[in-house]
Structure 1
Amino acid sequence: MIRLATATDLPSVAALEAELFGPDAWDLAALRSELEGPGRRFVVDVGDDVRAYAVSRVAGDVVDLQRIGVAPAHRRAGVATGLLEELMAHPAGADRMMLEVSAANDSAIAFYLRHGFTRIGTRRRYYRDGSDATVLSVELPAQSSTPGPAASSPSQSCS
């Protein structure tokens, strides 16, 4: 089930962050900032615990996809697709979504290309280890007035 994240989800998200991103993981303070910050949308996919999460940030006409993290046991099951679709369905007035992904992460790039993203550039030495990022973008559908699945969940600061 996909829903808006709450403060009680943060310890589980932090543990998953550490597992997935190692030294580049966000700590609890950074996660709380993403949860509470203006223009953010922070969603989780939950079963018995948090299986996956995604965070976006709206700045003007652009949604910046900050993170999608999926527990290894739940990969290749459509979880990331559900989270991405949830964020894309709530653009908060933006008309496109952008993201950076490691240029070496072929599976993630393929995932985003399957969902309509196109390559628009490269950010040289973008990551802490000096590796490059591929910049991707997709046009978003016109904003619907119909609430999505996370709209009826506990509230959070979202524009």
Structure 2
Amino acid sequence: MTKTAFADTQTPQTELQAEPSDSIETMYLTFPVGSELYGVSIGVVTEIVGLQRIMSVPDVPHYIKGVINLRGKVIPLMDVRLRFGMPDKAYDDRTVVIVLQVNDAPVGLIVDGVNEVLDIPANQIDRTHSFSGSEGRSLVLGLGRLEERVAILLNVNLLVEDDALVPPMMAEA
């Protein structure tokens, strides 16, 4: 089980409240990107930090904005808007970085803000086999039904699977 800490480096963060649950596996951190609501499993979230100085890295896809040095750890940053083919948006005081631990490596997702941690039981998640991309794999894990809203639940392993997330100087180490 991953311990989740919510850190504040530069901007005040929204306090996140989790509803009671017996299992962390049904808990999702939700966040807006554009007009849609997305979610990632809270089990891979290590912290949420304000945007800070981004050091650019050459020869990476356009959606990789660079890296940050977070308390001595170099963390590659992916702009989720750009990863999804959405138009670029200027970062503002609500823009945050969600730091994930995926396949034993930290990765930061730049998102428009964070909403809340929600308990979405499996019986409220519609699987999305029809959205599969290449080789039957999809970035969309499922669609979580929340009263009058729907949260698009992301498969973070596929989202960050691209080798471009590893800066060239780290790939040789």
TM-score scaled by length of structure 2? 0.27
Structure whose CA Rg is larger: 2
Indicate the structure with greater strand content.
2
Indicate the structure with greater helix content.
1
TM-score scaled by length of structure 1? 0.29
